Amino acid sequence: MGILLANGQLLDEFGKLIKKDVLVEANRIVRIAERIEPDGHEQIDLDGLFLSAGLIDMHVHLREPGFEEKETIATGADAAVRGGFTTVACMPNTRPVIDNVETVQYILQQAKAAKKARVLPYGAITVRQLGRELTDFAALKETGIAGVTDDGVGVQTSGMMKQAMLRAKEWGLPVIAHCEDESLLPGGAALHDGEVAARHGLPGIPSESESIHVGRDILLAEQTGVHYHVCHISAKESVRLVRDGKRAGVNVTAEVTPHHLLLCDEDIPDSLDARWKMNPPLRSRADRAALLAGLKDGTIDIIATDHAPHTEAEKANSIDRAPFGIVGLETAFPLLYTYLVLSGELTLAELIDKMTAKPARLFGLPYGRLAEGEVADLVAIDLEKERAIDPDSFASKGRNTPFAGWKCKGWPMLTMVDGEVVWRQS
């Protein structure tokens, strides 16, 4: 017998919410109708909750192997389903680096054992992410990677990036790029090179350290024909380059994080709390406006969290010594729904598309759609319930968020992966 999700609110083709029942059998959605008789199926009354395809996050850090004190695949996958994510793609900057078949297999095994969100590992572009030697793309693809990236560091030389793109094109893999030219980074820089860094007498991270790599890589992608995807885009110049690349017919896509959409460097408190330190940094108000405009006009394709947990001890250090990164899996949807949808910047349908169907289409994944015959990855969300973000309630080991105390609506209440309920708010 199946599971009948009754009395949910689904988006119709016009973006309006309509009441529907959804019947799941095995791992598929087999029927959607205004009324479905229980007929012996297990019934879950959603009582008007919004029902969506499960969210997809193509950029998270699960830290295992090597940094289990920050996060494990099990705790990260648990945090994912509590945030409504049914599929996440994890970055290779672990120890060992995900640059070999054995580490990919280990991650897939740990994710399967966790029985929470589906985890898709990325393989490193270069061995140990050192930028000197390409990994074995063919073997990594056969083992199950979602793409190749050296996220955490940028590929510094154009020649190595071109070789990577040619190899990735040959094996049908996307190249996901952390864009950062290290020759433009002053030592100890932790904040955007703007007024806030200057006021505190700190060296800043210039926008061009990102946008120069974006421009270089778009030209290389044009030459090689590979699918080139820009990680966590943050600078207005980068948005302009991606827009121009798309207009020129280059296969370039981009992602933006919730924190870059909602915050800018002016929001950083004078205490310089390291929970506001991330890479790329929070940039200027003008950059934030360009990111939102790019998301709305389709230049930026999808939203990804760049979930990056660290220990509380690490983040207790001063801003120049603490590691970069904040967590995001358990707060992304409520933040974006409250501060972009309810504020009128995006419609609910637009937000859902950028967090479900669009990432699935970009990366060729058979998920992200709520329709008969599709994989039953689903999330039920309470769009009315309001509560404050409480890091102490996170399933993630990471508590490092600048959004603590923010009041949000749109909290996930139930998550189903492959037809099984893997988490339900008690």
Helices marked H in 40-178: 73-82, 101-114, 137-143, 158-171
The pairs formed by 243-248 with CB atoms below 8 angstroms and a separation of 24 or more are 243/294, 243/297, 243/299, 244/218, 245/218, 245/221, 246/299, 248/222
As a dihedral over the C-alpha atoms of residue 55, residue 58, residue 60, residue 64, rounded to 10 degrees, the angle is 110
Q: Do residues 53 and 416 touch, judged by C-beta distance below 8 A? A: no
Residue 306 is a catalytic residue: yes
* Choice among 306, 353, 377, 382 that is catalytic: 306
CB within 8 A of 358, min separation 6: which ones? 301, 302, 368
Query: What tokens were used for 60?
Result: 């998270």
Sign of CA dihedral 134, 139, 142, 145: negative
Q: How far apart are CA 81 and CA 99, in angstroms?
A: 27
- Going by C-alpha positions, the residue among 318, 307, 306, 281 that lies closest to residue 399 is 307
Tell me the catalytic residues.
Answer: 306
